[in-house]
Structure 1
Amino acid sequence: MAGHFRGSAPQAFPVRPQFSGFMKPCRFEGELRYLEIEGDLPTELDGTFYRVMPDPQFPPFIENDPWFNGDGNISAFRFSKGKVHMQQRYVRTEKFVREREAERALAGAYRNKYTDAVEFKVRTTANTNVFYFNKVLLAAKEDAPPFAMDPITLETIGLWDFNGQLPSLTFTAHPKLDPVTKELVCFGYEARGDGTPDVCYYNISAEGKFTQTVWMVAPVIGLIHDFAVTENWTCDLDRLKVGGEHWQWNPNIPFYLGVLPRRGAKGSDVRWFRAPNAFPGHTTNAYETDNGQIVFDLPLTDKNVFFWWPDAQGNAPDPTTIKADYVRFTFDPKSPNLDLPEPTVLLKRDMEFPRIDDRVQMKRHRHSFFDMMDPTLGTNFGAIMPVLGGGYPLYNCLGHFDHDTRVLQTYFPGNMHMVQEPVFVPRSDDAPEGDGFLIVLVNNYHNMSSELHVIDTRNFSAPRAIVKLSIRLRAGLHGNWVDAKDLEV
């Protein structure tokens, strides 16, 4: 290895925004029982909200390490009978275990094995998403297979290759669960290793059997972070060309949307639609119309959201100028014209992390929920900025958009607060779409601690309950809700 590690291990985290203020690493493992609750916690909430945050256990030896290069630390908030308990535990990846033995950081720059102090077999931090499938909890980062954990104890089971079935070296952090068949629809990019253009798509049955594998080649070697699935199609997002860092923004490359039949496909069946250069955000959902069109909703901006990775000339946008509109692409997947039609703007608001009622995943959705930045709401930016920390997009409220009426509702948690990604929980199995609760982790900069806000969609402007955590959880990436009945063995 071309090791870059020199001298003794750093004893303190670098004096950088991504390691300061609210973004100072948490590094907590343990249990907090009977969390303090203000308000009326719905007794309908019976299950666990899992989320993951990048949380380095040791100071990095790459001083300007990006904030999301930390070790995966899983939080489990267990709701039952009007009470909430919390557990938190790191994923025992190879990196985590070997660094704990060495008592120092051994991995170098983000997704760059040539900067490591030692050689790893599997280098992942498992820090991007956590989801439940076939009785195990899977912590995933898209550079490797996921790590399995016990959903009750959070003990790490180990690297998960689905009993030897996983065909690719990588696994998406955003698999999609079909609410009808219970299949997990997945893919891996750079699927044959770093720098390879190969994309591998696969379906996994509810019993954990791989039922289809399709290999494709992408038009550029790029980050394919998220995708959407309809009943008959998958849509992969291809963005950002590779450069000196693992990723580098290239403003001259089109936005590509790869469309593949969901079943019975060959690699040659993929069709790469193009649009002008843009940075797509996380997908909301996709579905098919009666006349065979695909409808696809997502945030979209013309700027490089990953501003810490500039283009080849060193250009990067001022982060305060980055805003994503909420857009809808509608197109014919069989069209001979591979140029995507211009999207319809659903909302000209700065938004991200959209979620829907997962019961309508892959079908027409009416309701979507998301993070939003609205500077007019009265956020005390002057007081927040000195303790903010850096490296994470800022959102001061939640949005609820009714796609039928075009009505936008807003939940504003307070003038010293910022929100993380929400999850939606239906009120009951047979409740109408969008009737239920949002659970969101909220940063309280007044007392530098975290809170869980529970919002009833029937009264979206006010919290139904606030759960006080008494500790500070730095910015996370993604999480999911699992009903208690689904956790029963």
Structure 2
Amino acid sequence: MSASHSLPAVASHYPDRPQFSGFMKPGRVEGEVSNLEVYGKIPEDIDGTFYRVMPDPQFPPFIENDPWFNGDGNISAFKIKDSRVSFKQRYVRTEKFTRERDAQRALLGKYRNKFTDAVEFKIRTTANTNVVHFNGKLLALKEDAPPYALDPESLETLGPHTFDGQLPSLTFTAHPKFDPDTGEMICFGYEARGDGTPDVCYYRIAADGTFLETVWLVAPVVAMIHDFAVTENWVVFPIIPQVCDMERLKQGGEHWQWSPETPFYIGVLPRVGAKPDDVKWFRYPNCFPSHSSNAYEDGSGNIVFDLGLSEKNVFFWWPDKDGNAPSPESIHSQLTRFTIDPRAASLELSAAANVQVLHNGNSEFYRLDDRFATRPYRHAFFDLMDPALGTDFPAIAPQLGGGYPLYNSLAHLDLDTGETEVYFPGRTHMVQEPVFIPRRGSKEEGDGYLLALVNNYASMSSELHLLDTRNFTTALAVILLPLRLRHGLHGNWVDAADVEK
């Protein structure tokens, strides 16, 4: 839709759809609350801020069945100091947000389809997928555009961030990786020359914001690369078989369509000094790769790559060309390990030779002790759905809302022993993505705390649950919020000591 076309009627309420109802009803709150209620004890050695972002549309969309994660990015900051917690929340002032606020109505059309917009945007993003701290700024990320920079303290939006004009691509990953020794940020953009382009742009950024190198690649298919992984010497790009077609976009269709005929491609590129033709695109039978846990190199120089893997289309709201999609309750994603020889002549991967399931449970949102990113690690933390734990599904079902996978517990997997510890927050609760907080003064991997936002469907409000990894199955503290925060996507812990460096 161009600006010359008449606009749809202004919606006076959100659509009567699962993704806009119950706990998923948009909250649209900005503000701050000091001294949140704490039940239990927050250790005094925790000093920092947990930042997270959620899609939270400020206006009802004019595309009625808009996916839940097309909402405006709303950043939450939970500052913990002296065993107290304060809360602050502000929207990212993207071009979309400010122009819609001026117009007092939605102007953005379908998810990542500019041909359905009411107006033309210069930067068409909601900045709603992840938020990271880098070089003194918060960066609000969504993989269809450059980051938006924010002030870490006030959450004031500073504007689009192109690293002083160094950013080579039109897009930027929502999952940058950080070298724990150098602070280097390793990034990429897919559809890097614009919608429907097969170009992938890889780049490394020094801790001071200087671009160290850029490598342009061409992917074997125009498809989604949501997350990726980095080792000491390699970069790994898992391509989700959700494909883009420009003709479909121009006809007002969806950006993504599940392709059961497309294999799972895994791109492998040298991390430093690569040329475009150095990339290898390994192939594995069609499946859905979700978020990465970690990657590293073993003693033989093989890449060990841990990520969630499902045989079915996890993004069920984008079916295949015939409209086929799995029912949400049938989707089962497992933490899975790929072992890949980057020097191999054959690009074909097999379950027998290259794949090992690390955990049988239905899991997602994998996190680790970030001090061990890119190197061998022992401890993985993640969301888990285990119906046997005792969730009262009949009681909470009317309030769940919809459009996203549900997880009722937090898990800790010891990769050396294979043992799993599970924290179950309660019969009327679901968990969001956790973050790991190292114990002050301890260099032991996994020694610290796990913090996660938890949905309480009985009170219809949000809680923070803090766990000690030395006693994982019991909450150390539960922090209550006097409001409900919609299901979010990603976030990160920023230690006060790291900000002061």
Per-residue displacement from partner, 1:8-33 (whole Å, max 9, x unpaired)?
31110000000000000010000010
The 1-side partners of 2:268 and 2:375 are apart by: 17
CA drift at 1:5: 6.0
Tell me if 1:182 matches 2:183.
yes
Alignment of 1:103-252 (within 5 A): 103-239=104-240, 240-243=242-245, 244=248, 245-252=254-261
Kindly provide the amino acid, as one letter, of the partner of residue 265 in structure 1: A
Per-residue displacement from partner, 1:105-153 (whole Å, max 9, x unpaired)?
0001100001111110001000000000000000000000000000000
CA drift at 1:218: 0.1
Matched length: 489
Match of 1:71 in 2: 72
Tell me if 1:294 matches 2:303.
yes
**What is the root-mean-square deviation in Å for CA atoms of aligned residues?**
1.0
2:370 counterpart (350, 354, 358): 358
CA drift at 1:290: 1.4
- Tell me if the contact between 2:291 and 2:365 (Cα under 8 Å) persists in the aligned partners: yes
1:337 counterpart (334, 346, 355): 346
Per-residue displacement from partner, 1:277-336 (whole Å, max 9, x unpaired)?
000110000000111011011110010111011100000001000001111111201100
The 2-side partners of 1:284 and 1:137 are apart by: 23
Alignment of 1:466-481 (within 5 A): 466-481=478-493
Match of 1:21 in 2: 22
The 1-side partners of 2:113 and 2:270 are apart by: 33
Find the residue that maps to 2:19 and give its secondary structure.
Answer: helix
2:289 counterpart (275, 280, 290): 280
The 1-side partners of 2:471 and 2:442 are apart by: 20
The 1-side partners of 2:6 and 2:340 are apart by: 50
Tell me if 1:416 matches 2:417.
no
Find the residue that maps to 2:43 and give its secondary structure.
Answer: coil
CA drift at 1:420: 0.3
Match of 1:255 in 2: 264
The 2-side partners of 1:176 and 1:7 are apart by: 41
Match of 2:100 in 1: 99
Find the residue that maps to 1:281 and give its secondary structure.
Answer: strand
Find the residue that maps to 2:167 and give its secondary structure.
Answer: coil
Per-residue displacement from partner, 1:162-184 (whole Å, max 9, x unpaired)?
00000000000000010011100
Find the residue that maps to 1:131 and give its secondary structure.
Answer: strand
CA drift at 1:340: 1.7
Match of 2:402 in 1: 390
The 1-side partners of 2:183 and 2:276 are apart by: 24
CA drift at 1:44: 1.4
Find the residue that maps to 1:320 and give its secondary structure.
Answer: helix
TM-score, normalising length from structure 2? 0.96
The 2-side partners of 1:47 and 1:233 are apart by: 31
Find the residue that maps to 2:99 and give its secondary structure.
Answer: helix
CA drift at 1:429: 4.5
Does the C-alpha gap of structure 1 residues 213 and 66 become closer, same or farther in structure 2, counting only changes over 3 Å? same
Kindly provide the amino acid, as one letter, of the partner of residue 334 in structure 1: R
The 1-side partners of 2:272 and 2:27 are apart by: 43
Tell me if 1:318 matches 2:327.
yes
The 1-side partners of 2:177 and 2:167 are apart by: 16
Does the C-alpha gap of structure 1 residues 5 and 375 become closer, same or farther in structure 2, counting only changes over 3 Å? farther
Kindly provide the amino acid, as one letter, of the partner of residue 102 in structure 2: E
Find the residue that maps to 2:391 and give its secondary structure.
Answer: coil
The 2-side partners of 1:436 and 1:182 are apart by: 21
The 2-side partners of 1:144 and 1:19 are apart by: 25
The 2-side partners of 1:24 and 1:84 are apart by: 25
Tell me if 1:327 matches 2:336.
yes
Tell me if 1:483 matches 2:495.
yes
Does the C-alpha gap of structure 1 residues 339 and 86 become closer, same or farther in structure 2, counting only changes over 3 Å? same
Tell me which stretches of 4 or more aligned residues in structure 1 moved more than 4 Å. none
Structure 2: 5+ residue runs without aligned partners? Answer: 249-253
Find the residue that maps to 2:470 and give its secondary structure.
Answer: helix
The 1-side partners of 2:417 and 2:194 are apart by: 46
Find the residue that maps to 1:62 and give its secondary structure.
Answer: coil
- Tell me if the contact between 1:5 and 1:116 (Cα under 8 Å) persists in the aligned partners: no
Tell me if 1:62 matches 2:74.
no
Match of 1:375 in 2: 387
- Tell me if the contact between 1:151 and 1:487 (Cα under 8 Å) persists in the aligned partners: no
The 2-side partners of 1:474 and 1:7 are apart by: 27
1:452 counterpart (451, 455, 464): 464
The 2-side partners of 1:200 and 1:5 are apart by: 38
Does the C-alpha gap of structure 1 residues 5 and 334 become closer, same or farther in structure 2, counting only changes over 3 Å? farther
1:309 counterpart (294, 318, 322): 318
Structure 1: 5+ residue runs without aligned partners? Answer: none
TM-score, normalising length from structure 1? 0.99
